[in-house]
Structure 1
Amino acid sequence: MKRPSFSTQLVVLWALVAALCAVLVAIVGFMAISAESQQIAGARQQVTAACEAVASRYSLSRPLSAATGNTDLMHAVLDIVLAQEQNVEGGFWTSGPVALAVPHGATQSRDSEAAVNAPPTGFLAYAFPTYQGSGIKRDIPEAETPLILRTLRTAAATHTAAADVIRSGPDAVVAAACTVKDEPALFAWMLTRARPPLGPHGELLVTGLAAILAVILVVAVALAVTLRRWKRNLNLLESGLSLESSVEPAGQLPRLHEPELDRIVDALNRYANRAEQLRQQTADLSDKLARAERFSVLGKLAAQVAHEIRNPAGAMRLKAENALAGDSERQQGALRFILEQIGRIETQVASLLALTQPVTVKPQKVNVAGWLASVVESHRELARQRGIRLMLVTKLEALAEAPTPALPEFDPEQLRRALDNLLLNALRHVGEAGMVTVTAQRDWSAGRPHLRIAVSDNGPGVPADQRERIFEPFVTGRPDGSGLGLAVVREVASAHGGRAWLDGKLAGACFVIEIPWQPSS
């Protein structure tokens, strides 16, 4: 029987290689299509869950007011919730006329100005906290606006959560909309983009690829045996395999007792050993990265715990040390103070555990002068220890414009939590012999009385590149800061129907909390 010619053998071998490559491409395509649908389903579930979380948190945190659209509270809720959702953006939308809750001083805030100029129907608020660009992203994406509106109108028509998808090549844009409890005309919406990876069939794909590559390797060895007469080409192939090669053999190949082929086998085995070493190094680096990420999370939590309880613990220690040198009456007073601070620490620890929960306001009538004196006094020891003057100024005279109730109504524990954060920030940033001033006053604006509390210092102030983002989660000017203190301040103020901002007109830093004197009925 006549043997096929060398050229025929070569054509057959390469035809087999081409067929195997075609099978490989078909498998990859099938896996990509399957992964796309499952990735879209995961993205749909993610944005639906984020939408319901935003709607629920806004419903629980909105102020006790007849107004429906509190844009400052909307932005606060969006920033807090979406900071934990990578690549998810969203906002609020209304399907009918809405009475916007515009805090006093709207001309001083771009978000409040947008609320004033907002149309009676349409988009009310928007946020994208994990956006990688510079500055705060507040512009709604134009290309996806038709998809967003279509989803919102479906939710408005059915009064249930709705989701929609637009596919563009391998990518897909997923939008979800849901209703806000007790506000039939107000809806939350979320948007994300799905880029499918290998998906859950990745293991099957890898197994198929490994089998195909093994067959390709066998074919390559057979082709090498057929071409052994071409010694110079074999030497070039050996040289290429010794440096870099896309072929990755599995395990150690046996020697074939053929000088030319044995050199190729040795080169392949050396490459396999080198690839195994690289894989081991990659695994070690992945473990180190995972440990570093865990330590980073623990570091942020430790910084937040220290931020919330270090001051009362230090005050208790100073009181105890002073009481040891005093009489029994002084010791009794110190013990009462320590018990009070322990209760405060317990409250703060509970607040830390509930950091991701909505702020629930329980308003009551409060004697502002006495309450403020108690708050400032709890920071007096720390200020004295650092050589800082801590002053309290109250301007709570009756307003001439209109009759005002003698006592305001707010949640003293929640507002104290916010004020403690501002005082601790000021005491940490102002230098020795500096001064921190707490000013409380009552004024009349936007047709109703307000309580305004300002914490100012003569320190270096807030850097210009951080002023616009200073109230966002995880934005901090200190290496040991958690970046959550001012985010909590803003959410507490918004939950009371007010707002918090940085007054950039004064030297140093001046943070202001402004809330209605009494909640709207």
Structure 2
Amino acid sequence: MQLTHSYESLQHQVEQLQTQLEQSDQEKKQVADHLSRLLELLPAGVIVLNNQSEVIEMNPSAKKILGDDALHRDWEVVMRNVFLSRNDAGELIAHDDSIYQLSETPVDQTKNRILLIHDVTSARRLQEHVNRHQRLHSMGEMAASLAHQIRTPLASALLYVSQMDSSQLDDVSRKKFADKALRSLNHLESLVKDMLQYAKGGKGSDKAIELQTLVSELQHGVEPRIKMSDSQIRFNAFVPGLTVMGDKDALITALQNLVNNAIDIVGSKAQVEVTVNKLPNKRVDIVIHDKGPGIETERLEKIFEPFYTSRAKGTGLGLAVVRAIAEAHGGEVWVKSIVGFGSQFGLRLPLMGEQ
């Protein structure tokens, strides 16, 4: 009797387990069906590679991108047949100029791989359109600002030149007007020079440059401005043999802009110091230090923006040009300033080779 009861209980448990297994199988089938439908409808391509990098499975989107004949073929061969190259972002470029993004994930405890590929052509084209619109908008603002800044020195130069042919003007006054006209024309030249350098992007050539040569040419280039402003400049000694790669003329322009900026902030009789500091991570800082009034914290975030200036005769492009040149050379420009104690501007550049 007890044995019969135990058998019936066991049979009942078996029936319950069978029912649970059937439910579980049904749920698994439903999940599998849902996943299969998702893969069918997924706009991105899903590719499964075996441990020999052969394509063993593809969803319809992947077949549309790669072609039906990609199945059971080596993935590297498929890549060479379908895609022409990669762009700077590592995205795949097809023969019809479509752009695809590829990502990969391993399968648990197997050597199989799952690849996800999707078409980002529309997104990239939209981004290019937005970037182009932003550039055009920025160029419009620059042109308007430049025209506004050109008008004042041009009007001054025309005024002084128009007075110079007066018969009532003595030689001293004529020379005075000529000097003023020349200063206005130099200001115009500075505006155009900065605008061209900014538009060029900061780098025109790529050659090895010794910092000793760079600093020596900087010393020669700023000498007239130092004398005109009755200022003093000191060049500190530094480790010889340091070399950077880039455009020497552009780097000279950047450093001259920093020296001129230091003089402009002080006004006259500025004390400027130039220091070259070798950094441990194969980089070098060329630092321009002035003992001027310093820069307020709220202005530090804006001074490298194009056409931002707090001076009536400033071009508003000097420091923006410095930043463009620094970034074009794989470096950066930085500033530290304490109101009442002066400012430090640094041009940080990568050093060549093992230095």
Greater RCO, CA 8 A, separation 6+: 1
Bigger Rg, which one: 2
Richer in strand (by share) = 2
TM-score, with normalisation over the residues of structure 2?
A: 0.48
TM-score, with normalisation over the residues of structure 1?
A: 0.34
